[in-house]
Amino acid sequence: MKYLAFMLGLTVVAQGQAAEPRNFTAEDMVTFNRVGAATLSPDGTRVAYQLRTTDLEADKGRYDIYTVSSDGSDTQQITKHQAADTSPTWSSDGSALYFLSSRNGSNQLYKYDLASKKIIQVTDLAVGIETYKLTSDNSRLVFSASVFPGCDSFECSKRKFDKQKSAKATGKLYHQTFVRHWDQWLDGTQSQLFSAELSGDNATNVRPVSHSLNGNVPSRPFGGAEEYTISPDGKTVVFALRIADEKESRSTNFDLYQVAVGGGEAINITPDNPAWDTQPVFSPDGTKLAWLAMDRPGFEADRLQIHLKDLESGEVTNLTKDWDRSVASYSFSQDGKTLYVTGNNIGKKSLWSFDIESKKPTLLTEKGYVGGVSVGNGQLIYQYDDLKQPADLYRLNLANNESQQITHVNKAKLANIQFGDYEQFSFEGWNDETVYGYVVKPADFDADKKYPLAFLIHGGPQGSFGDHFHYRWNPQTYTGQGFVAVMIDFHGSTGYGQDFTDSITGDWGGKPLVDLQKGMDYIDDTYDFIDTDNSCALGASYGGYMINWIAGQWPEQFKCLVNHDGIFDNRMMYYATEELWFVEWENGGAYFDTPETFEKHNPVHHVKNWKTPMLVVQGTKDFRVPETQSLGTFTALQRQGIPSQLLIFEDENHWVLKPNNSIQWHQVVNDWLNQWLTSN
State the CB neighbour count (10 A cutoff) for residue 352: 23
CA distance 577 to 629: 10
Q: How many CB atoms lie within 10 A of CB 577?
A: 18
Q: Give residues with Cβ within 8 angstroms of 342, minimum separation 6.
A: 327, 328, 329, 330, 349, 350, 351, 352, 370, 371, 373
Q: Which residues pair with 257 in a beta bridge?
A: 239, 268
Q: Tell me the three state secondary structure of residue 381.
A: strand
Q: Which residues contact 655 (CB under 8 A, 6 or more apart)?
A: 472, 619
Catalytic residue among 183, 654, 662, 666: 654
Which of 577, 599, 572 has the alpha carbon at shortest distance from 587? 599
What H or E segment, with its residue span, contains residue 207? Answer: strand 202-208
Q: Per DSSP, which regions of 356-467 are E strands?
A: 360-363, 369-376, 379-386, 389-397, 402-405, 417-418, 422-428, 434-440, 451-457
DSSP 19: P
Q: Give the whole-angstrom CA distance, residue 109 versus residue 103.
A: 10
Assess whether 87 carries a catalytic annotation: no
Strand order in the sheet with 85-90: 85-90, 96-101, 108-113, 119-121
Active-site residue, from 101, 231, 541, 644: 541
Q: Who contacts 121 (Cβ-Cβ below 8 Å, separation ≥6)?
A: 104, 108, 109, 110
Asked if 541 is an active-site residue, the reply is yes
Residue type, 135: T
Exposure pattern of 449-480 as b/e (b: 16+ CB <10 Å)? ebbbbbbbbbbbbbbbbbbbbbeebbbbbbbb
Backbone dihedral angles phi then psi of residue 158, each to the nearest 5 degrees: -60, -40
Q: Which residues contact 169 (CB under 8 A, 6 or more apart)?
A: none
Question: Could you tell me which residues come within 8 angstroms of residue 299 by beta carbon, excluding any fewer than 6 positions away?
Answer: 252, 275, 581, 585
Q: Which of 507, 622, 630, 662 is catalytic?
A: 622
Residue 69 annotated as catalytic = no
Give the CB-side neighbour count of residue 259, counting CA atoms within 13 A: 23
224's CB contacts (< 8 A; 6+ apart) are 131, 218
Q: What residues are labeled active site?
A: 541, 622, 654
